[in-house]
Amino acid sequence: MRKVKGIKADGRGLKSKTLSDRRCYFAQSLFAFESNKSWLLILFFYFIIIPISSFAQKKRTKMNDKQIIIYQLLPRLFGNKNTANIPYGTIQQNGSGKFNDITDKALDGIKELHVNYVWYTGVLAHASLTDYSAYGIKPDDADVVKGRAGSPYAIRDYYDVDPDLAVEVKNRMKEFEALVKRTHAKNLKVLIDFIPNHVARSYHSDTKPKNVIDFGANDDVTVAFSPRNDFYYIPGQPLVVPTNGQKTPLSVLQDGKFDENPAKATGNNVFSAQPKYDDWYETIKLNYGVDYQNSEKQYFDPIPPVWLKMRDILIFWTHKGVDGFRCDMAEMVPIAFWNWVIPQVKKVNPDLIFIGEAYNPKVYKQYLDEGKFDYLYDKVGLYDGLKRLIRNEPNADVKDIRFIWQQESAGFGHHMLRFLENHDEERIASAAFAGKAELALPAMVVSATLGGGPVMLYFGQEVGEPGKGQEGFGGDDNRTTIFDYWGVPNHQKWMNGGLFDGHKLNAAQQNLRAFYRQLLKVTSTSDAVLNGKIYEVPVTGNMNNRMYAFIRYSGKQRLLVVANFDRNQRLTANIEIPDQVLKGKSSVPVTELLTDKKLNIPAGTAIPIKLGPVSAQIIEF
């Protein structure tokens, strides 16, 4: 979640049996029905239909043999061709991308980067100031909406999609379903956000299934906390909407009179009727049975209503064809809930993946083991350390890389999601980060090769999008706004009016995209990266604290990864290969994979390296 402006079915059934189990079951069934001619139907089902479905299952899970490469995009921004970019502009002024803009050509362009999962961010209906009253969707109150488009993390209906993203608003869900089908047809999988910790203050589902009870509908609002309530309350006190005192084009819509009485606790655990402007004042905290104002006492038996509602929401979207969920602020929800809900949802689709947005390294292993998450963010750790190296900060040191894999995520590094950009973080090419996208290339190589877990790109990263501009609520904060209607200039050059051919990119941008394409081609199919061990190369030659080398090796492949973050000094070294690595499969000739260049190096126990400033190599040997 963006911390901007302050905070931004039964498993015992036949489906669970092996093919041999099912054939035995068929034999028993045939004997039982030997006098009934329906045995022909049984024969057809168990020997024809089931093997076909088993083959389909194997085909569907085959992607597990490759490194997961995720491409994150906001449909509202991704397909927007409008270049007006008026601060606080309306959807009519600045435009909005649509589900339909993510065409086959667009998906082909994404696949060129060897992506296999697309994270569609901002799909669920969220609070917004845009008026869709003609379709039964009223605009929200400007006092509790961030920006004109609104935050994708202030959900106003878990069972609906954002009307901004539809060409025909009344058919918005069908247009999303068509996008899922298009994505799958390209052999890409679909991720969406699951926001479990909080909802918009205006939450109300107009599209929920008939048997669903809205959040808060049965709450006892006279008490601050009840295990049976969906929200937390400040009884007897109305909400006082905060303000920062600054005038914006939205000020005329903000009268400070949003009607909420009694007030509800905010999404970031502020139990006050007067949250601050730096709080998540536009959201309200969901109650998972934890009494935060009474030593966080837990009431998990009987199961709290929110647990059941959230399970049903996850299953709803699973039935829509979604292949996984990026779970917003996962650590703000009890680990017991994740332990309970993830296995239940995976009964519907065992191939689902759950990615947790997590920022506390001390509980990473707990959220993986007890919480049942497949992957967690590696933000407070590898990302932070690499950012210091990219920025050439005085305290930057490659020892941070060593600490990550040897200590912080030792034993579970393949469950950590690595990235250098996402919607919460500054753009690499922004003035406050690196100022130049190419300065992050060694870090991207390390991110993609240090572990076998997922690697993520944020749309525009591969063409050096700098995130410039006073967009509106987002401000000029070195990020691409998630709160405003906006066009993304460098990405629009690659989009080229919907051709998605990159013909408007300059030579440097085309080279940058080619680098990402080649790097991810290498890592996505690398057995050494996905399954191999890691060996740290000792300091040798003129290596300093801005230079790092390691070997990834398996029984099928050996890779030497060398990264030079130094802005000025060339790395020169003769890297000795230990016996434990040399015992593995040998690859001849020796090849630098990022350039696909064969190196004239004789077979032996050492590899000479000459690597210029701010560059990296992946050498197969």
Q: Does 422 share its domain with 466?
A: yes
Q: Does 467 share its domain with 553?
A: no
Residue 181, both tokens: 């089908």
- Examine residue 252 and state whether it is found in any structural domain, yes or no: no
Q: Does 106 share its domain with 163?
A: yes
**C-alpha 480: how far from chain center:** 16
The position carrying tokens 């991704």 is 78
Q: Does 140 share its domain with 83?
A: yes
pLDDT in tens, 300-325: 999 999 999 999 999 999 999 999 99
Largest interatomic CA distance in the chain: 85
- Examine residue 601 and state whether it is found in any structural domain, yes or no: yes
- Examine residue 290 and state whether it is found in any structural domain, yes or no: no
Helix (H, G, I), strand (E, B) or coil at 192: strand
- Examine residue 18 and state whether it is found in any structural domain, yes or no: no
Sequence letter at residue 480: T
Number of domains in the chain: 2
Last residue in a domain, options 484, 507, 525: 525
> What integer pLDDT is reported at residue 587 of this predicted model?
64
Residue 447, φ and ψ in degrees, nearest 5: -55, -40
Q: Does 504 share its domain with 605?
A: no
Express as a percent the part of the chain with pLDDT over 90.
87
Q: Does 398 share its domain with 541?
A: no
590 has a pLDDT exceeding 50: yes
Residue 562, φ and ψ in degrees, nearest 5: -125, 130
> What integer pLDDT is reported at residue 621 of this predicted model?
92
User: At 604, is the pLDDT very low, low, confident or very high (cuts 50, 70, 90)?
Assistant: confident
**C-alpha 405: how far from chain center:** 21
What is the sign, positive or negative, of the torsion defined by CA atoms of 44, 47, 50, 54? negative
Q: Does 400 share its domain with 422?
A: yes
> What integer pLDDT is reported at residue 177 of this predicted model?
98
- CA dihedral angle for residue 396, residue 419, residue 73, residue 7, rounded to 10 degrees: -60
- Cross-strand bridge partners of residue 536: 550
- Examine residue 314 and state whether it is found in any structural domain, yes or no: yes
> What integer pLDDT is reported at residue 187 of this predicted model?
98
Strands 416-419 and 375-377: parallel
Predicted TM-score (pTM) of this structure: 0.90
pLDDT in tens, 402-415: 999 999 999 999 99
Cβ-in-10-Å burial (0-12, 13-18, 19+) of 128 comes to buried
**CA separation for the pair 569, 396 (Å, rounded):** 15
pLDDT in tens, 29-72: 323 333 343 333 333 333 333 333 333 333 333 445 889 999 99
pLDDT in tens, 449-487: 999 999 999 999 999 999 999 999 999 999 999 999 999
Taking alpha carbons only, the member of 203, 228, 338 closest to residue 283 is 203
9 has a pLDDT exceeding 90: no
Lowest mean pLDDT among 29-38, 171-180, 518-527: 29-38
User: At 605, is the pLDDT very low, low, confident or very high (cuts 50, 70, 90)?
Assistant: confident
CATH number for the domain that contains residue 593 = 2.60.40.1180
**CA separation for the pair 375, 302 (Å, rounded):** 29
> What integer pLDDT is reported at residue 64 of this predicted model?
59
CA-to-CA separations, 253 to 126, 140, 249, in angstroms, rounded: 18, 11, 8
Last residue in a domain, options 525, 558, 592: 525
Taking alpha carbons only, the member of 379, 387, 413, 616 closest to residue 518 is 616
Q: Round the average pLDDT of the chain to a whole number and report it.
A: 90
CA-to-CA separations, 379 to 184, 216, 254, 376, 385, in angstroms, rounded: 29, 34, 35, 9, 9
- Cross-strand bridge partners of residue 119: 72, 191
Express as a percent the part of the chain with pLDDT over 70.
89
- Examine residue 587 and state whether it is found in any structural domain, yes or no: yes
pLDDT (mean) for 136-153:
97
Residue 599, both tokens: 């190196």
CATH number for the domain that contains residue 75 = 3.20.20.80
Burial 289-319, CB ≥16 within 10 A → b, else e: bbbeeeeeeebeeeebbbbebbbbbbbebbe
> What integer pLDDT is reported at residue 602 of this predicted model?
74
14 has a pLDDT exceeding 50: no
Contacts of 101 (CB under 8 A, 6+ apart): 75, 78, 79, 80, 498
183 has a pLDDT exceeding 90: yes
Q: Does 464 share its domain with 540?
A: no
Q: Does 536 share its domain with 521?
A: no
23 has a pLDDT exceeding 50: no
CA-to-CA separations, 271 to 153, 226, 276, 293, 306, in angstroms, rounded: 20, 14, 11, 8, 19
User: At 583, is the pLDDT very low, low, confident or very high (cuts 50, 70, 90)?
Assistant: confident
Burial 488-523, CB ≥16 within 10 A → b, else e: bbbbbbbbbeeebebeebeeebeebbebbebbbbbb
pLDDT in tens, 239-271: 999 998 899 999 999 999 999 999 999 999 999
Under a CB-based contact definition with an 8 Å cutoff, are residues 60 and 48 in contact?
A: no
Treating both helix axes as pointing N-terminal to C-terminal, what angle do 104-111 and 172-185 enclose, rounded to 10 degrees?
A: 40
**CA separation for the pair 547, 539 (Å, rounded):** 9
> What integer pLDDT is reported at residue 2 of this predicted model?
55
CA-to-CA separations, 144 to 189, 230, 258, 620, in angstroms, rounded: 34, 20, 8, 55
Lowest mean pLDDT among 16-20, 116-120, 230-234, 387-391: 16-20
Q: Does 516 share its domain with 572?
A: no
> What integer pLDDT is reported at residue 1 of this predicted model?
64
- Examine residue 586 and state whether it is found in any structural domain, yes or no: yes
Q: Does 561 share its domain with 613?
A: yes
Under a CB-based contact definition with an 8 Å cutoff, are residues 356 and 330 in contact?
A: yes
DSSP single-letter state for residue 349: -
**CA separation for the pair 42, 456 (Å, rounded):** 46
pLDDT (mean) for 80-86:
98
DSSP single-letter state for residue 95: -
> What integer pLDDT is reported at residue 603 of this predicted model?
64
Under a CB-based contact definition with an 8 Å cutoff, are residues 601 and 577 in contact?
A: no
343 has a pLDDT exceeding 70: yes
Q: Does 452 share its domain with 399?
A: yes
Q: What is the 3-state secondary structure (H, E, C) of 500-552?
A: CCCCCCCHHHHHHHHHHHHHHHHHHCCHHHHHCEEEECCCCCCCCCCEEEEEE
- Examine residue 59 and state whether it is found in any structural domain, yes or no: no
> What integer pLDDT is reported at residue 65 of this predicted model?
81
**CA separation for the pair 195, 326 (Å, rounded):** 8
**CA separation for the pair 538, 99 (Å, rounded):** 50
**CA separation for the pair 52, 19 (Å, rounded):** 11
Last residue in a domain, options 469, 502, 525: 525
Contacts of 499 (CB under 8 A, 6+ apart): 105
Find the domain containing 610 and state its range: 532-620
Helical H segments across 408-476, by residue range: 441-449
